Amino acid sequence: MTSRPPTRRAFLSGGLLAALAACAGPDTARRLGAPAARPTEPPAASAPAPTPTPTAPPRPPLEVMAGQMLMLGFPGTVLAPDNPVVAELSERHLGSVVLFSAGGASNVASPEQVAALTASLQEVAASPLIVAVDQEGGRVARLGPARGFPPTSSARDLGRGDPAATRAASAEMARTLAAAGVTLNLAPVVDVDTYPANPVIGSLGRSFSADPRLVAEHAAAFVQGHHDVGVLTTLKHFPGHGSSRGDTHAGLVDVTATWDAVELEPYRALVDAGLADAVMVAHVVNTALDPRYPASLSAATVNGLLRGELGYRGIVISDDLLMGAVAREWGFEEAVRRAVLAGTDIVLLASVTHGARAHAAILAMVEAGEVSEARLAASYERVQALKARSLAAG
């Protein structure tokens, strides 16, 4: 189906949205009375207490704010002093790391080892780190049975059952993550399974359903199961990867002719319900949304569609900027620059060796006047808010 710009029409019924939304407690207030002037006279009216003028905390140095905008992968199952991630933490104020389980950069050997590794990272970091991992379940689970972790069910299998069962399975998964020191799961996938032969979504069982309503229901249950344990989650891959015919790891993928606004409906429902801790933006090209840039580098998609049309106010994470869809089409510094200009809060890079260049590229944008200190501060504050929620939940 030819893609068309999304509309504001409501997707889920008010009943379902009410069931997904969190309840907020009422504010409370006190009024202080003044003592009577004389026993024989009416009480004197109390003067209103002066309201203190709130003072915004000073902004940290630019180097700190830029470092907090990066999420890096790194090699090793133990944190040796010469591991390059140590320099990123101590010299460039790295805010987030991501764990992998394959290749030379594997960080996963056993449950005890991962817990020790993440504890070492937190000890070195000047401020609490976001520790992320892709733990979707099924075939995409970095902490898997081959390394001593419990087996997990794929989104497809969970989507065939009851959302209550999804929530229970999600909570078990989150307990595994929490014990390993992971604070942010780069899941669930909320792509609608519009093309079952999709080489990176449908064929791997990563989507809950071809029905956007079921995707929203099971994704909500997945998020709530994690929240039950104190682990935060990431909705991906915005604005929808389910209809793609290619793999963005390998190269450019254009979904213009296959994407439909129905793929936004789970995002709309989850954002409205307050169940979007973070959103990861894909590298797919959709010329109906942006005629030039893939979603991850597109201000029209991130600031326009996600933050504007859908009203999302939380963390935006890019997909890995070292993937072929970006790396083969744009220079490294240009990709970082475009991601920041698009509205990204956390730039994800699978290799720590690119951290210094990314950090320098962000600082250069401020020096050149392409972005303001206030723009970096906005991302910094969103990152700190996510960390505070993680600490409170844990």
| Catalytic site includes residue 319 | yes
Q: Are 317 and 346 in contact (CB under 8 A)?
A: yes
| Catalytic site includes residue 211 | no
Angle at 316 between CA 314 and CA 317, to 5 degrees: 145
List the one residue out of 315, 366, 322 whose CA is nearest residue 95. 315
**Which pair of tokens denotes residue 271?**
């954002």
Of 319, 320, 354, 359, the active-site residue reads 319
Of 157, 228, 247, 249, the active-site residue reads 249
Query: What does DSSP say about strands 135-137 and 140-141: parallel, antiparallel, or unpaired?
Result: antiparallel
**Which pair of tokens denotes residue 256?**
């213009």
The string over 159-188, giving b where at least 16 C-beta atoms fall within 10 Å of a residue's C-beta and e elsewhere, is: beeebebbbebbbebbbbbbebbbbbbbbb
List the one residue out of 316, 255, 311 whose CA is nearest residue 288. 255
Catalytic residues: 249, 319
